[in-house]
Amino acid sequence: FPAGILLGVNTLKGYVGDMKHVFSKEGAKQLGGFATIGSIFPAQWDWHQFWYMTAFLSIILAFMNILPIPALDGGHVLFLLYEIITRRKPNDKFMEYAQITGMILLFGLLILANFNDIIRFLF
């Protein structure tokens, strides 16, 4: 195989292997917000590293998006599966509350991530 394909496959294997850390206690401590995202880029400009990290962030966002959290695509898939299995649409009021709950979870995650950044900066 060409070197680019091998690099891509090996990189994806590494990312998939690292996903086990996402749902661990250590993963929660390492959760970071905007400052952490900025800090993973090198101090000196490097196109290769820039695109590598951009791809990494894109994969993280894709993974987060398929989680079965209401308000994300994974949540929509979950409700569609429910509709297929039961052959009826979920109650509109239930869907509204589920979407609100999903948004609260996402905003909570955003606040926690940026709070972790502030704590790391201060201490």
Identify the pLDDT of residue 68: 93
Identify the pLDDT of residue 102: 95
Query: Residue by residue, what is the 3-state secondary structure of 21-86?
Result: HCCCHHHHHHCCCHHHHHHCCCCCCCHHHHHHHHHHHHHHHHHHHCCCCCCCHHHHHHHHHHHHHH
pTM of the model: 0.76
Q: State the pLDDT confidence band at 27, using cuts at 50, 70 and 90.
A: confident
